[in-house]
Chain A
Amino acid sequence: MTRIITALALFICHMAFSQTQYEQGMKKALGLWGEGKPTEAAALFERIALVEKDNWLPNYYVALINTTEAFVPANRDKVSALLEKAQQAENDANMISPNNPELMVMQALIYTAWIVYDPQSNGMKYSGKTMEQYYKALALAPNNPRVVFSKAEFEIGGAKFFGKDTKPMCAQVAKSIELFATFKPESPFHPNWGLDRAQEVLQNCNTK
């Protein structure tokens, strides 16, 4: 009896442990990112990605962290390297999960980072590609708040530049905030960012 219990305990333990290995890893990586350690976080996500070969999320975060870092002005000299890394992870994630609207938003963000880095030479080149990603994503997931918000935010940039009215985009941002309220990520580790940013953008819309 004791032997069976021990074996069972070991088995459950093992199950619990291996189940939580992924969760622990992801939690730890997200934690590192939250603590302002993007290099460590990205490195851990990369290692998780190498083990969890059928899961697009670790690669998604590798792309997201590197792209976010590329927007930081202090990293200007590293932008090419960061975005290349992000693109590689994005490509790997796309292989695992094709036609994923979250990954389309990610791809659009990578293009946007290229535009911000050198608007004169990349503006024309990537604006069309960026919008193409948003349209594809919107067709697949019209109620995904990140799709609605990111597209509107990108369009606000363009409209401001051309002196156009930003009201329709601001309305989309407001709509995305409603969508954020009801959005349920599939797991604690699925993308769930954007609400605070959307509120910030909406505030700018209203103060102007």
Chain B
Amino acid sequence: MKTILTICSLLCCLVFQAQTKISGKLVDQKGKPQEGVNVFIEGTYDGAPSAADGTFSFETDAKGSQVLVISSLLFETIREAIVIETYKSRSFTVKSSANALNDVVISVGSFQAGATTKASVLKPLDIVTTAGSPGNIIGALQTLPGAQIVGESGRLFVRGGESDETQTYIDGIRVAQPYGASANNLPTRGRFSPFLFSGMSFTTGGYSAEFGDALSSVLLLNTIDEPDQEKTDISLMTVGLGVGNTQKWGKGSFSFNTSYINLEPYQKAIQQNVDWIKPYQSMSGEMVFRRQFKNGLFKFYTAYDYANFELNQKDINYEDPIRVAIQNNNLYLNASYKGNFGANWTIQTGIGYGYSLTKTDLDSNAVKDQENAAHLKLKLGKKFSNKVRMIFGGDYFTTDFDGSYRQPSNEFKTGYTSGIGALYAETDIVLTSDFAVKAGLRGMHSDLLGTSVLEPRASLAYRTNKNGQLSLAYGDFNQLPKQDYLKYTSAFEPEKTAHYILNYTYNPNGRTLRAELYYKDYSNLVKYNTDLPQYNSIYTNNGSGYAKGFDLFWRDNKTVKNLEYWLSYSYIDSKRDYKNYPDKVTPNFVANHTLSIVGKYWINDLRSQLSVTNSFATGRPYNNPNEMTFMNGKTTSYNSLSLSWAYLMSPQKILYLSVSNVMGKDNVFGYQYANSPDVGGQFQRQAIGQAADRFFFIGFFWTISQDKKSNQLENL
């Protein structure tokens, strides 16, 4: 036995003595030494991380032909065949891999709210906690540069574009009717509850070839892939109540959210500027079903919304107010699948369907609009290497619209069916870790107009230093004329814009600076020759316009502890000759300067978040028929200061208070002038203002989840 041990230890010694030293140095492409990279012989434990000066050195008892592996998250793995006995100390150059965190990312024109992406400027929670926009996704986005404040509409107006120039997508599928019903000159809200979405991306121009039929902007909302836990949410608000629940099992989960809103008690208590007969009430629900597969995720999203209200609306042309009653039914379904297959292929496919029925009573006249819209989508992606990726796919959009206008004596019907087919391809090439290019092409054909268009899109990004990046984007965008015109005739070309954007982003830890210069060239805009678009108007595509400006965004979460704030400023110069305009003028929804300041301060001792939002915009143009020059009037400037307070009563109970327009400023958005002059030859006018001077909101949000239950059990 002794002999065996002796031999054994001898042999072991021999083995140890036979160790060979492997050493070398790691540098990056610029010759900078790289620290902390794991270097080892494949299949053995032998190796070492590189030191601060890039050198590495270790001993191995491996023999003969081996593979030396150099591996780190930040670099492409190097596998070098070596022969241990003849290996000589040498230097290796590591290349940063394209999926590295600090790589150049193309993000021109887009604002993202999400947890992970570098381009994120908003966190999902910001949507809920921004003062002045209680739970309204659109309201929070209006504090970003590039968006105009159009108080009487509540919709997104982006960079000199009208609200319908923005398309909304949920999980990559278009939402044909993203806004709730509203009466003329009363603001609407986005339909969707922010709680079901984990991320969103709001692009103000120059977006990917994946998206089309939008002149100005796309808003991408993504539902949560996997909910955290099973829970029940209860909300009690001054304007209504809501219940939500999430269930999880094996590979699936299901969430729903439902709410009943009735503004009657609130409007009884607080003085309104509008004469409501029956205040707004709505019943709405959303649900998401998710199923995880081995290589993908299937989601089914449904939203239903029923709303009605009735009011007396003053009109300068009539002595008595007009009774307006609106009923709206809306259903949206969306099924999507995303996953990967084969060698680095990804697939995203889905179908969306939207149904909307709006009945409007105007005194004794009745308007009925009914729309069925669907979107079919298939997108494939292929990653050829860390440096080259490509996506391609197709869309089919169909819209079927039926409208009727019934007077006591007769009825007019309108309607159209529109189909749009589109194909696109786009490639991302990372040329160096500091320089990337994206180029795409989208082709679109409209059945209704009988026309086809090609839209080239391109962007470049160059990283100037560790935290700074310069990007350039160009793109052509086409969109079918809006429903108001299409329902009378289809003798149109698509309306068109070209975007040119120069972006600089500076992104040190905890702070973000974005500056963007842009120019938008509009052509083929629809013109008509009557006061309002009618069946007998003469329509042309001879309109044109431009928008140019400068957007600035600054967000700082770092300088002051517990304080997050952002500041956005937009300057815009935009003129259009469209609709029935006699000249190229600045349209009434454009304010030259817009400034928003949003601050959120967390007070740890009070477990409270205080939030302040101040929105300011210079005056907007309006047309005064008493003057010779068209659209020559200008309203006074707009300002609204909003405050909110969120108090965390316990981990699961939140009390939320907010007041919009605290100062009660009487903002005027424009004026309605009489159609004909009075006896003195003057056109009389009435102001288009706010529905109420202030808006108060008190809500109590209670989450009942698994851990709470268990906690109580444990305390017994």
Contact = CB atoms under 8 A, between A and B. Distances in A.
Nearest to A127: B651
Interface in A190-208: none
A162 B43 contact: no
B364 interface: no
Nearest to A134: B707
A6 B228 CA distance: 61
Contacts of B714: 168
Given A128-B705, A162-B607, A135 B73 contact: no
A40 interface: yes
Contacts of A12: 4, 8
Contacts of A155: 711
A128 B248 CA distance: 13
A39 B36 contact: yes
Interface in B610-651: 648, 650-651
A46 B49 CA distance: 11
A43 to B, nearest CB: 4
Contacts of A127: 651
Interface in A73-124: 77, 80-81, 84-85, 88, 120-121, 124
Contact of B229 (A43, A132, A161): A132
A13 interface: yes
B7 interface: yes
Interface in A154-172: 155, 158, 161-162, 164, 168
A80 B231 CA distance: 29
Interface string A132-143: 100100000000
Interface string B470-492: 00000000000000000000000
B12 to A, nearest CB: 6
Given A13-B8, A80-B101, A121 B651 contact: no
B75 to A, nearest CB: 13
A125 B195 CA distance: 12
A162 B607 CA distance: 8
Given A39-B49, A120-B564, A162-B607, A81 B707 contact: no
A43 B7 contact: no
Give the residue among A10, A39, A128 with the most B Cβ atoms within 10 A. A128
B318 interface: no
B17 interface: no
B116 to A, nearest CB: 10
Contacts of B49: 39-40, 43
A154 to B, nearest CB: 10
B3 interface: yes
Contacts of A9: 3-4, 7-8, 11
B125 A121 contact: yes
A190 B570 CA distance: 59
A10 to B, nearest CB: 7
A135 B4 contact: no
A32 B38 CA distance: 15
Contacts of B101: 80-81, 84
Contacts of B465: none
A8 B38 contact: no
A162 B650 contact: yes
Contacts of A6: 7
A161 B607 contact: yes
B710 interface: yes
A125 B562 CA distance: 17
A184 interface: no
Contacts of B4: 5, 8-9, 12
Interface in B24-62: 36, 38, 40, 42-49
Interface string B70-84: 000110000000000
A69 to B, nearest CB: 11
Given A16-B8, A168-B714, A51 B45 contact: yes
A46 B77 CA distance: 14
Contacts of B711: 155
A147 interface: no
Contacts of B48: 40, 43
Nearest to B49: A43
Given A17-B12, A132-B229, A47 B40 contact: yes
B530 interface: no
Interface string A144-157: 00000000000100
Contact of A131 (B43, B115, B602, B707): B707
Nearest to B15: A17
A21 interface: yes
A124 B123 CA distance: 12
B11 A10 contact: yes
Contacts of A158: 651
A86 B678 CA distance: 77
B491 to A, nearest CB: 52
Contacts of B564: 120
A162 B651 contact: yes
Contacts of A50: 40, 42-43
B509 interface: yes
A65 interface: no
Give the residue among A21, A43, A51, A88 with the most B Cβ atoms within 10 A. A43
A12 B4 CA distance: 9
B464 interface: no
A57 interface: no
Contacts of A121: 115, 123, 125
A158 B564 CA distance: 23
A51 B8 contact: no
Contacts of A10: 7, 11
B11 A47 contact: no
B45 A43 contact: no
Interface in A5-34: 5-6, 8-10, 12-13, 16-17, 21, 25
B706 A135 contact: yes
A81 B49 CA distance: 16
Contacts of B3: 5, 9
A48 B44 CA distance: 7
Give the residue among B46, B115, B707 with the most A Cβ atoms within 10 A. B707
Interface of B: 3-4, 7-8, 11-12, 15, 36, 38, 40, 42-49, 73-74, 101, 115, 123, 125, 228-229, 231, 509, 562, 564, 602, 607, 648, 650-651, 705-707, 710-711, 714-715
Question: Lowest 8 A-B CB distances belong to which pairs?
Answer: A128-B228, A43-B49, A131-B707, A9-B7, A13-B8, A25-B45, A128-B229, A9-B4
Given A135-B707, A162-B648, 6 more contacts: A43-B38, A50-B42, A51-B44, A135-B706, A162-B650, A164-B650
Interface of A: 5-6, 8-10, 12-13, 16-17, 21, 25, 39-40, 43-44, 46-48, 50-51, 77, 80-81, 84-85, 88, 120-121, 124-125, 127-129, 131-132, 135, 155, 158, 161-162, 164, 168
28 contacts: A5-B4, A9-B4, A10-B11, A13-B11, A16-B8, A39-B49, A40-B48, A43-B38, A43-B47, A43-B48, A43-B49, A44-B47, A46-B38, A47-B44, A47-B46, A81-B74, A84-B101, A120-B562, A121-B125, A124-B125, A128-B705, A128-B707, A131-B706, A135-B707, A135-B710, A161-B607, A162-B650, A162-B651
